Amino acid sequence: MKKIYLIILFQFLFADYGGGYAGSSFRYGTNAREFSLSGSLVADKTPGFYIFSNPALLKYVRSNELGFSYQAMALDRSIQSMCFVRPLPPSGGVGMAILRAGTRNIMGKNSMNENTQIFTSQDILGIISFGVSFSSKIALGLNIKAFFSNIAPEIIEKQSNSGIGIDLGLLYKLNRNIIFGGVIENLLGNYNWKITNSSDQDSYTEVLPQIMKLGISYKGLKSTTIYLQEDMVKIPTNGNINFRSRLGMEYHMLSGIKIRIGLRQVLGMISEMEKNEKLFSTSFGVGIPLKLWNSKFARMDYALDPGSVGEGLSHLFSLYVKFKK
């Protein structure tokens, strides 16, 4: 039972509107641009980390693209991600991605609230992704995902912690300025835990929260793109639906530098007790174009996460490269 408590603790270290449930460490954010725009990119065709936003966006891949991201977070947390995509003629794209979320220097406590020993944890997500367009306006996408966890290896002798999930994506281009996007995440998703020590064995299955995301991108304003998104999370334990609204704005400077700000709803279901709580969080970021060898386009992104009160700042860095054909 002690090991089950450890698993729950690690889930809450990355807790979010779906926090405390399986896969919560993967819902913080995958790259700097996504985070600075509050994660509102389900309908964004800007080259980048398509796989994590909406697999249907792979329809826009025209050459090989590679992205790396590193997030140095408060409370000894870190997230790293990598994605690679390439065209799939005549009208699609294919790719793969890996995301690792880890926590270190967690001090264990016994029943007397005394320090015991330091623990670590890491979660790994692997994705194979496909996207194809059926016309100039409509595209569909598919993510096949595998989850792996390594919880407190300092005290757990043997563990087998893994899961699977499927995402479906849809894209509809209304005109040159307006695109609608939607994703359903974690269809058939579950996490299977089996932890063995010399004295006992624990095993159980967690159901991943199903998440539906609906969004729009609007490029009709001069030098500014606006992203709006609404997330709906079905909590697996009781079937309740949590909602989250997201807003992102990206300003394009003449030099190619992009300034970004995001606004994200913190509390998904407002109650009387929560009315005095912080309802929204902000994020900020910048994108800088680069010239790299053999690249058609490259960009360095940075995002700042102010964090919750007492949590501290987190810094996110990403590099994206679009290679020449």
Minimal CA–CA distance to 206: which of 159, 163, 156?
A: 163
Report the alpha-carbon distance of residue 286 to residue 315 in Å, rounded: 12
DSSP string across 268-285? SS--GGGTTS--EEEEEE
Which amino acid, one-letter code, is at 166?
I
Residues 6+ apart with CB under 8 A from 221: none
Do the domain assignments include residue 266?
A: yes
- pLDDT, one tens digit per residue, over 108-119 is 666 677 666 667
My answer on whether omega of the bond before 90 falls inside 30° of 0, hence cis, is yes
Q: Which residues of 216-240 are buried (b: 16+ CB within 10 A; e: fewer)?
A: bbebeeeeebbbbbbbebbbbeeee
DSSP string across 111-156? TTS-EEEEEEEEEEEEEEEEEEESSSSEEEEEEEEEEEEEE-TTT-
Residue 225 above 60 pLDDT?
A: yes
* Residue 324 backbone phi and psi in degrees, to 5: -70, 150
- Give the containing element (helix H, strand E) for 34: helix 32-36
Which amino acid, one-letter code, is at 310?
G
3-state secondary structure of 168: strand
- pLDDT, one tens digit per residue, over 135-153 is 999 999 999 999 887 776 5
Full domain range(s) for residue 95: 2-106+116-323
Question: What does the pLDDT read at residue 23?
Answer: 65
Residue 276 above 60 pLDDT?
A: no
Residue 46's Cβ-count burial label (10 Å; 0-12, 13-18, 19+) is buried
Number of domains in the chain: 1
Do the domain assignments include residue 221?
A: yes
Mean pLDDT throughout 57-72?
92
Question: What does the pLDDT read at residue 196?
Answer: 65
pTM as predicted: 0.84
Do the domain assignments include residue 157?
A: yes
Minimal CA–CA distance to 317: which of 292, 296, 288?
A: 288
Give the CATH number, domain containing residue 294. 2.40.160.60
Residue 282 above 70 pLDDT?
A: yes
Do the domain assignments include residue 125?
A: yes
Do the domain assignments include residue 97?
A: yes
Do the domain assignments include residue 111?
A: no
